[in-house]
Structure 1
C-alpha cells in the first residue's frame, strides 16, 4: 500500500508539473504565469519608478542622454541622427514593446501565430487586401532614400538592442498572458504601421452598397438622395478661393456600367466621427503670434495609440507624439513651426469587377485582350494547427480579394464581395516618414510645403503655423486624377478608361495661406467649394463640427491657449441648433400623455449642449435616430437585413425635413395611409419616450442624463479585462467639436502657442507606459477626462534645469 501511495504521489506531482507548463484554452501555462521569478509579479511597479541609470547598448556611435519628466515622457538628446533614431527605437520599445508587436502582427496578418485559428479570418483579410504587398512596396520606397534608410535602420537597431537584452522575467505582461516571446524588429514593421493607418483612415468603401442602391432605385433617385455636393457646407479651404494654377485635363468618364452583385456587403463608412485642427492668426491672439490646435479622433485604447517624446540632435529639436513603432514625430512642433493633421477622406480605394477567361482564372479580360493573372502565395502560420497557404490573384488593378464563395470557411471578415479587384493607394510605393522627418526640422512655410510633397497616404489635412506668423492648411496626399464620381460605384475592370489616369500635381492640392479671415480649420468636412477643378470624393464628414469651429474662431479676439482648449472640449451641437426647432414644430402638446408632455418640455428648454448631465441631449439624440430610422427603413431595410443598400445620410435627411417635409420618402410604405415628415416626427417622438422610459425609468431622472445614456469607454488594445479604463461619464457626441462617443474620440489634444519661445500644451487619455502595472499607464487620463491640458516641457538642451525632470538615462555604446 505504501508503494501505491508513493507512486500515486509521484503521479499527481508529475501531473501538476505538466499542467503548470501547458496551456488550457486561451490561458497561458499557469506555472509560468505565476512564477515569482519570471511571471506577472515582475510587471508590478512601484508608484514612481524614475531612477537615473546608465546602460550600454549595441549600435550607438556616441553617448545619448534621455531626461524623463514627471509624466515619464522621454526627452532624447543625441549628437547625431543615427543615435537619435536608435535611441527613439530603444526607448519606445522599452515602454510599448507589446503594442508595437501586436499592431504590426495585425497589419501583416500574423495574429493567428499567437492566438490561434480564431484570428485566421482577420489575418486572411489583411493578407488578401494586400497589406503585406503594400508594406513591401512602401519599404522599397523608404530604402531608396539614403537619409530615410539610415533613419529606419537605426530605429530598428534601437528596438532590437532592447529586445535582445530582454529576459523572460521582463517581458510585458501581455506576452506572458498570451504565452509567446517578443521577436526582433524588422524595418518592414514600420511600414506595416503606415498600412494600418491607411486601413483605418482610407480603407472604407461604399461602392458595393451604392451599386446595389443604383440597381434598385435607378440613376435619378440615386442622384437625388446621394448628391455630389451637400446643400450646405463650410469647406476647409475658404469658399471663393482662387486657384492660381492651370488644371490638367480631366479624364473622360467611361461608358455606363452596372456591376453584378454578390450576397455579401461591405462595412459602411462611419458617418460623423472625425478629427479637428485649426490655427488662428496672430492678428486675433493676445500674444500677436499664431496658435495651433489639433485633436485627432481615433479609437481610444490603453496603451494609447500615441507616444509622447522630445527629440534633439544637430539640426533638429522637436516635441510631439509619434506612433509606437514609427520613427520621427508625427504631430508636434519645434522652435519655428507647428503642425497637426486630420483625415481628408479622399477616394483612394476603388473596386473593379473582373471577367476571367475560364475557371482556371489564369487570364482576365482588359483593354480588349486577355491578360495574365499573377499569383501570390500568402503563408499564414496558425498556432496549434498546420500552416495555411492562401493563393491571392493579382490583376494590374490589384488583388482580387475574394474570388470564390464556395470555399470554406467563407471570407466573411471585412464583408468583401467576390470577383472584384482592389485598386488602393496603400499598395503604392511611398515614403511618408520623409514628410515627418522634414517637418520635424522645418523652419518656415517653404519647408512645410516641401515636406508635404513626399506624403502619399492616408491623405491628411496638414495644418501649419510658424514663428514667422504664417498660417496655412493643405488637404494633402497622393490623389488620383479621376473623372467625376469615379469610384462611387463598382467599376468595369475590363475598360481601361476606368483606370486611374495619373495624379493631381502635389502643387495643385488645395491649399490656403494667411487668409483675410484670420483663421483656418478642418473637421473632415468638404475640402473645397465646387470651384476646385479636381474630383477628390463625393462624400465627406458632415459640416457641423467645422461650422462650429469656424463660428467660434471668427468672433475671437485676443485669443489665448485657454480659448483653444475650451473650443476643443466644446459640446454645443450645430446640428441640434439647425433641426430641433423644426422637429418640435410638428408636435401638438394637446395630443400627448403626461410623460410625453414632460419629455417635450425638457427638450424644448434644452440648451443644445451634449454635456454629460444634460437630459435634453439624450432625448434629442434618441428622437433623431428613431426619426431617421423610420424615414428610411421601410424602403432601404434594416442594416441587419444584409440587403446591400446604402442609406441616405443625415445631411440629406435634414435637408428633406427643412426643405421638403411633404417628400415621398417620409411616407411609410408599409401602412395604407400617406405620411409626411410631421407624421414621422410624431411617431418617432412617441417611440422615443416609450423607449427611454422603459430603459431608464421616470422621465427626467438622472439615468436619462447624456453621460449615463451614452457609453464612453477606453478598452485595452486586446480587450483584456481589467486592463482598460472601463465606462465613464462624459459629454460630447459626433456632431460636436468634442466628438467623443463610445470608444472613439480625441486621442491627443494639443495646443501650441507660437512666438519667440514656443509653448506647447497637450494630453492623451492614458500614459507613456504600456505596462498595466505601472503608475504611468494611465496617469494622464484624469487630466484628459477633465478637459485640461498639461504644459509640455520643451527643453533646449540636456542641461536645462527644471523641477519637472525626475531622472536621467544615459545610453553608451556596448
Structure 2
C-alpha cells in the first residue's frame, strides 16, 4: 500500500505542477504567475533610478548618451541617425514592449494566437479589411527609400537588442498574465502600427446608411436633412481665403450614382467624441513676440498611454515630442526652429462598391463590360489551443470584399458583396514625412515634408521662429465628383472608380491669415469655394467656433493662455439650443423633483465643469429629444440600417422649423408638436436620472454621470484608472468623455529659446508596477502641463536630469 500512496502522491504532484504552469481559459499559469522570483512580483519597480549606467549593446556603431529626466523621459544624444533610431527603439521597448507588440498583433489579425478562439472573428475582420496587405504595400515604399529604410531597420534592431536582454522573469506583466513571450520585431510591425492608426481615424463609412435613406425617402429629403455643408460652420481655412492654384478637372458624375437598398450594418464610423484641437497664434497676438502653438489630439484614453515622450538628438536634428510606441521619430513636437501638431481631417477616403460576381464560385466579377479575375488570398489564422483556421479573402481592383452574403461577421456587418476602396491600402511612406518634419527649419521644409504624407489625413498646424504660422488639412485625397462615396457605388461601372488624386499643392491650406491665428477642431476644411470634394460631413463646428472666438479676442497671449483654452469647458451648442428647449417646458405640469431639475438646468451657466449638474441633465435630455424626433423615421427597421440627421441639422430644426413634419411621431395616432416632444423628452430624461442616481443632488454631478475611465489596453480593470473626475465632454474644447479625450496636451512657445509644455493621462512606463505608469494622470486631470526638458547638449546643467546612460558597442 505504501508504494501505491507514494505513486499517487507523485502523480498528484506532477498533475498539480502541470496545472500550476498551464494557462486555463483566461486564468494565467498560477504557479508561474505567483513565482516570487520570476512571476509578477518581479515587475515591481522602485521609484528611484540608477544615476549612472554604462553597458555594451550589440548593434551600436558609436557611443550614445541617454539622459532620463524626473518624468523618465529619455533624451537621446547620438553621433549619427542610425544610432539615434536604434536607441529610440531600445528605450521605447524597455518601457512599452507589450503595448507595441499587442497593437501590431491586433492590426495583423493575430490576437487569436494569444487568447484563442474568442478573438477569431476580430482577427478575421482585420484580415478581411486588408490590414496586412496595406502594411505590406506601405512597407515596400518605405524600404525603397534609403532614409526610411534606415529608420525602420535601426529602430527594429534597437527593439530586438532590448528583447534579447530579457529572460522570462523580465517579461512585462501582460506577457505573464496572458502566458506568451515577445517575438522578434520587424519593420513590417512599424508599418502595421501606422495602419492601426489609419484604421482608428479613417475607416468609418456611412455609405450603406445613406444609400438606404436615399432609396426610402428620395433625393429631396437627403438634400434637406443631410446637406453637403452645414448651417453653422467656421472652416479651418478661413472663409474668403484665395486659393493659390488652378484646379485640375474634376470627374463628372454618372447619371446613376447609387445602388439598391442593402441589408447589413456598417462598422461604426469613428466616434464623434474622438476629435482633436490645434491652433497657433501669430507673433502679433503673443506676449513673447513669437508664435505659440498648441495641440491636443483626442483619442480613446488608455493605459499604457498612446504616446511616448522622447527627445532625439544627433548632428542634424534636435527634436522633442510625442512618439508612437512602435514607430521611429517624433509625431507631434518641436525643434529649435519649428513646431507642429495634428488633428484628424475626417475626409471621405473609404468607399464601398457593389460587386456583381459571375457565379457562386466568386472567381470573376463584372466591371467595364468584361469579366475580371478575383484574386483569392488565403489567410491562416492561428488559434491558441486549437487548429489554425484558413480564411479566404477576395480582392477586386477596388480592394477586399470584406464579407459575402451568409457569412458570420464580427459584431456588425459591412454591406455584403461589396468591395472596400480605402486610401490606407495605397503604398505610402508616412515615415519619411516625420523624418523631414523632425528636421524642418522653415515653412518650405514643412510643406515638402507634408507632400509625402498619405493616411490618415491630418490637419498639420505649424509655427516657426521666423514668425510664420500655417495649417494644411493634408493627406492623399481621391479626386471625386461631388458626393461620390456619400452612397454605395456601382462596382461594375468604371465611371464610379476613383480617378486619381487631388494634387498635394491643391490641398486646403493657409499661411499667416490676417486674423492672426490658425486652428482646427475636425470641422470642414474650407468653405464652399474650395473646388474639390473631400466629404459631405465633418465634426460639428462647435469646438471650432468656440476656439476661434477665444483666439480672436486674445492679445498678449502666453503659453498659459493656450493651456487654459485647452481646458475650456464651455458648452457652446447647449448655449445655442437650450434656451429654446426650456421655453417649451410646461413647468406647471412637472413634479417636485422635475421642477428641481428644471431649476438646475435653467440656472446653468453652460460650463461643463466636473461638479455641475446642468450638463448631466442637458446631455440626458438632448439624447432623449434627439431620439424622439428621429427614431420613428430613421431607426433601424427590418434589418435596414439608417442613421439620424446630425446635431447641426437637429438644432436648426428646433430653432427654425418648429412646424416640421419630422417632429411628429408617425407611430402614434396623435400629431405631436415640438412642445409635446420637448416636454415628453424632458420628463423621460429627469425620471431616468432619478431612477439611476436618486433625487436631485450632488450625485447628479457631471463628472459622476460621465465617469471617465482610462482603461488598460487589454481591458483589465485592475490595471485601469476608473471614474477619473473631469469636466468637458463631447462637442467641448476639453473633449473629455467617458472613454475618450485629450491623449496628449502640448503647448510650444517659439523663440530664441524655445519652451515646450505637455502632459498625457498616464506616464512613460507601460509597467503597472512602476511609479511612472500613471504619475502624470493627476496633472492631466487638472488641466495643467509640465514644462518639457529640452536640452541642447548632453552636458547642459538641468536639475531635472536624474539618470545618465552610456551605450557602447
TM-score class normalised by the smaller sequence: over 0.9
Contact 2:49 2:803 in 1 (8 A): no
Displacement after TM superposition at 1:258 (Å): 3.8
Render the CA deviation track for 1:214-238: whole Å, top value 9, x for unaligned: 1211111111110000011000000
2:704 pairs with one of 686, 698, 708: 708
* Cα pair 1:254 1:495 within 8 Å, conserved: no
Instruction: Give 5+ residue unaligned stretches, structure 2.
Output: none
* Aligned counterparts, 1:200-279, within 5 A: 200-269=200-269, 270-279=271-280
Q: Residue in 2 aligned with 1:647?
A: 644
Matches within 5 A, 1:338-349: 338-349=339-350
Question: Hey, what's the Cα distance between the residues in 2 that align with 1:546 and 1:598?
Answer: 33
1:720-799 counterparts in 2 under 5 A? 720-799=716-795
Q: Which residue of 2 aligns with 1:319?
A: 320
SS in 1 for 2:149: helix
Residue of structure 1 equivalent to 2:35: 35
Q: Which residue of 2 aligns with 1:561?
A: 559
> Who is 2:451 aligned against?
453
**1:118-157 to 2 correspondences below 5 Å:** 118-157=118-157
With 28-37 and 431-440 compared, the bigger mean Cα shift is at 28-37
Q: C-alpha distance in 1, partners of 2:124/2:394?
A: 13
Contact 1:723 1:772 in 2 (8 A): yes
Q: SS where residue 722 of structure 1 aligns? A: helix
Deviation at 1:11, TM superposition (A): 2.4
**1:688 alignment partner, one of 670, 685, 696:** 685
Does the aligned pair in 2 maintain the 1:666–1:676 contact within 8 Å?
yes
Write the distance in 2 (CA, Å) between the matches of 1:30 and 1:611: 45
1:437 to 435, 438, 443: 435
Task: Give the number of equivalent residue pairs.
Answer: 808
Contact 1:48 1:775 (8 Å CA) reproduced = no
The whole-number CA distance in structure 2 between the counterparts of 1:189 and 1:104 is 6
What RMSD over aligned residues (CA atoms) do the two structures have, in Å? 1.2
Structure 1 residue 646 displacement after superposition: 1.5
Change (3 A) 1:450 1:501: same
Task: Give the match for residue 670 of structure 2.
Answer: 673
The CA deviation string for residues 400-422 of structure 1, in whole angstroms up to 9 with x for no partner, is 111241x4xx0234521210001
Equivalent in the alignment of 2:804? 808
* Per-residue Cα deviation, 1:153-181 (whole angstroms, up to 9, x for no partner): 11111111111221111000111111111
Correspondence for 2:581 among 583, 587, 592: 583
Q: How does 1:198-597 map to 2 (within 5 A)?
A: 198-269=198-269, 270-405=271-406, 407=407, 410-597=408-595
Moved more, 256-265 or 687-696: 256-265
Q: Distance in 2 between matches of 1:177 and 1:241?
A: 56
Q: Distance in 1 between matches of 2:268 and 2:591?
A: 38
Q: Distance in 1 between matches of 2:20 and 2:274?
A: 46
Instruction: Report the alpha carbon displacement of residue 255 of structure 1 after superposing the two structures with TM.
Output: 2.5
Structure 2 equivalent of residue 3 of structure 1:
3
1:102 and 2:98 are equivalent in the alignment:
no
Q: Distance in 2 between matches of 1:272 and 1:175?
A: 31
Distance 1:157 1:268 in 2: 37
- CA–CA separation in structure 1 for the residues paired with 2:209 and 2:610: 35
Maintained 8 Å contact 1:125/1:414: no
- Cα deviations across residues 337-372 of structure 1 (Å, max 9, x unaligned)? 000000000111010000011122111110111111
Contact 2:353 2:418 (C-alpha < 8 Å) held by counterparts: yes
Alpha-carbon shift at residue 642 of structure 1 (Å): 4.6
SS of equivalent residue, structure 2 residue 719:
coil
CA distance in 2: counterparts of 1:167 and 1:14, whole angstroms: 25
By how many angstroms is 1:707 displaced? 0.9
- Compute the displacement of 1:3 (Å): 3.0
Structure 1 residues 685 and 721: CA distance shift in structure 2, 3 A = closer
Shift of 1:378: 1.1
Matched, 1:186 2:186: yes
Please report how far the alpha carbon of residue 635 of structure 1 lies from its aligned counterpart in structure 2 after TM superposition: 1.6
Aligned to 1:18: 18
SS at match of 1:296: strand
Which residue does the alignment assign to 1:613? 611
Partners in 2 of 1:511 and 1:485 — Cα distance?
A: 22
Where 1:434 maps in the other structure, the secondary structure is helix
Instruction: Please name the residue that 1:697 is paired with.
Output: 694
Once the 2 structures are TM-superposed, how far is the Cα of residue 262 of structure 1 from its aligned partner? 4.5
Tell me which moved more, 192-201 or 579-588. Answer: 579-588
| Contact persistence 2:85–2:155 (CA under 8 A) | yes
Shift of the 232–581 alpha-carbon distance from structure 1 to 2, 3 Å rule, reads same
Q: 1:404 to 1:50 in 2, by over 3 A?
A: farther
CA–CA separation in structure 1 for the residues paired with 2:621 and 2:464 = 45
Per-residue deviation, residues 87-132 of structure 1 (Å, max 9, x unmatched): 0011101110000110000001111111111111111111110000
1:164–1:184 CA contact under 8 A, matched in 2: no
Change (3 A) 1:421 1:223: same
Say whether the 8 Å CA contact 2:273–2:740 is kept in structure 1.
no
Q: Report the TM-score when normalising by structure 1.
A: 0.98
Cα distance between partner residues in 2 of 1:107 and 1:240? 42
In 1: Cα distance, 2:274 partner to 2:147 partner: 37
Q: Per-residue deviation at 1:554? A: 0.4
What CA distance in whole angstroms lies between the structure 2 residues aligned with 1:216 and 1:260? 10
Mapped contact 1:272–1:541 kept (Cα < 8 A): no
CA 1:709 to 1:638, structure 2 compared with 1: closer, same or farther past 3 Å? farther
- Aligned counterparts of 1:84 and 1:787: Cα–Cα separation in 2: 33
* Alignment partners' CA distance in 1, 2:23 and 2:108: 25
Cα contact 1:292–1:751 (8 A) shared by 2: yes
SS in 1 for 2:718: coil
Task: Confirm or deny: 8 A CA contact 2:131 2:192 kept in the other structure.
Answer: yes
